[in-house]
Amino acid sequence: LADRDGKIWMDGELVDWRDAKIHVLTHTLHYGCGAFEGVRAYKTDKGTAIFRLEEHTERLFNSAKILRMPMPFSKEQLNEAQKQVVRENQLESCYLRPLVWIGSEKLGVSPKGNTIHAMVAAWAWGAYLGEEGLKRGIRVKTSSYTRHHVNITMTQAKAVSNYSNSILANMEATEDGYDEALLLDASGFVSEGAGENVFVVKGGVIYTPDLSAGALNGITRNTILHIAKDLGIEVVQKRITRDEVYIAEEAFFTGTAAEVTPIRELDRVQIGIGSRGPITEKIQSAFFDIVNGRNPKYAHWLTPV
């Protein structure tokens, strides 16, 4: 990924892709205090547009606030930077990665005396859990790793350090032949996927864990709440047990990268019909209509680049 043509926005300037480098003594690299976002831009009839840009930037600033990192740029600058990298790299649909990190002036756990930095890169990235996964659903394993307790790390921050837990869970699951991991919170209730929020469908009602289970407040999750309302489907946010997923009629993951991915199996237990269920399909199709600019009601969620 580092060796390619293109431009990356770094601390207010567009730099050549291969020159977007930092020092090995960068504080964030050693202690893991940093914040990032995952954003997508989609091709629409009116050109390429970034989906829910404002909300992603807002969450990035909230993450930085939670992590006590004073942002060196304004939201407007970060929004503009995101539009700029999509344009400059001539991307039609892509993934964007803004990141905020602590500099390399000094080490030691205290970050005081260090500068704060920001970057935004963008590149083409297809279906995170595979095209096949979007259509037929994926196979998921309950992780042996517990998701973060809300007072061990800050779960409402999209913090760099939160992801070692995700990496371990994802590696364990994929090395065992599954597509993704489902993590439980410290009390044993369903929290989220390694990089996705989770939903289950039972008796025509959609359930998703409330955020006290340590799940990230996903922007796709929020989009699903809007879609369900439009479709007249009730959504309940509550504590969910692992066996409620086994006996659900449908289940799906959501995320900027994962979009809306059906889950067809958990721990080798088939969920519902064992492929994408009818409510998941409706939600998924409404989601793709919105992100691709085919639903005028949500045109304000699309920022042209």
With beta carbons less than 8 A apart as the criterion, state whether 276 and 262 touch.
yes
Establish if 34 lies at the interface with ligand PMP (CB under 6 A). no
Report the C-alpha gap between 37 and 97 in whole angstroms.
Answer: 6
Toward ligand PMP, which CB reaches closer, 197 or 284? 197
Q: Give the tokens for residue 83.
A: 């539009």
Establish if 216 lies at the interface with ligand PMP (CB under 6 A). yes
Task: Looking at residues 142 to 171 of the shown chain, list those that interact with ligand PMP (rule: CB under 6 A).
Answer: 166
Sign of CA dihedral 149, 153, 155, 156: positive
Establish if 40 lies at the interface with ligand PMP (CB under 6 A). no
Toward ligand PMP, which CB reaches closer, 111 or 198? 198
Terminal-residue alpha carbon distance, the chain = 23
With beta carbons less than 8 A apart as the criterion, state whether 257 and 95 touch.
yes
Toward ligand PMP, which CB reaches closer, 220 or 284? 220
Count of residues of this chain found to bind ligand PMP when the rule CB under 6 A is applied: 15
Min separation Cβ 13 and ligand PMP, Å: 26
158 in active site: yes
Q: Which of 141, 221, 264, 276 binds ligand PMP (CB under 6 A)?
A: 221
Min separation Cβ 50 and ligand PMP, Å: 13
Strands (E), the chain: 7-10, 13-16, 34-36, 39-44, 47-51, 94-102, 116-123, 138-146, 180-184, 190-193, 197-202, 205-208, 235-237, 250-255, 259-266, 269-270, 302-304
Of the residues 141, 158, 238, 297, only one is catalytic, namely 158
Per-residue contact flags (x/-) with ligand PMP for residues 190 to 209, judged by CB under 6 A? --x--xxx------------
SS3 label, residue 217:
coil
Q: Which DSSP symbol is given to 275?
A: S
Give the position of tokens 């790793």: 145
Q: Give the strand pairing for 180-184 and 94-102.
A: unpaired
Stretch that binds ligand PMP, among 95-103, 248-256, 264-272, 285-293 (CB under 6 A): 248-256
Toward ligand PMP, which CB reaches closer, 16 or 230? 230
Establish if 256 lies at the interface with ligand PMP (CB under 6 A). yes
Closest CA to 32 of 151, 162, 217, 214: 162
Q: Which of 57, 220, 261, 280 binds ligand PMP (CB under 6 A)?
A: 220
Stretch that binds ligand PMP, among 2-10, 174-182, 213-221, 243-251 (CB under 6 A): 213-221
- The site for ligand PMP (CB under 6 A) is made up of 38, 166, 192, 195-197, 215-216, 218-221, 254-256
Which amino acids are annotated catalytic?
158
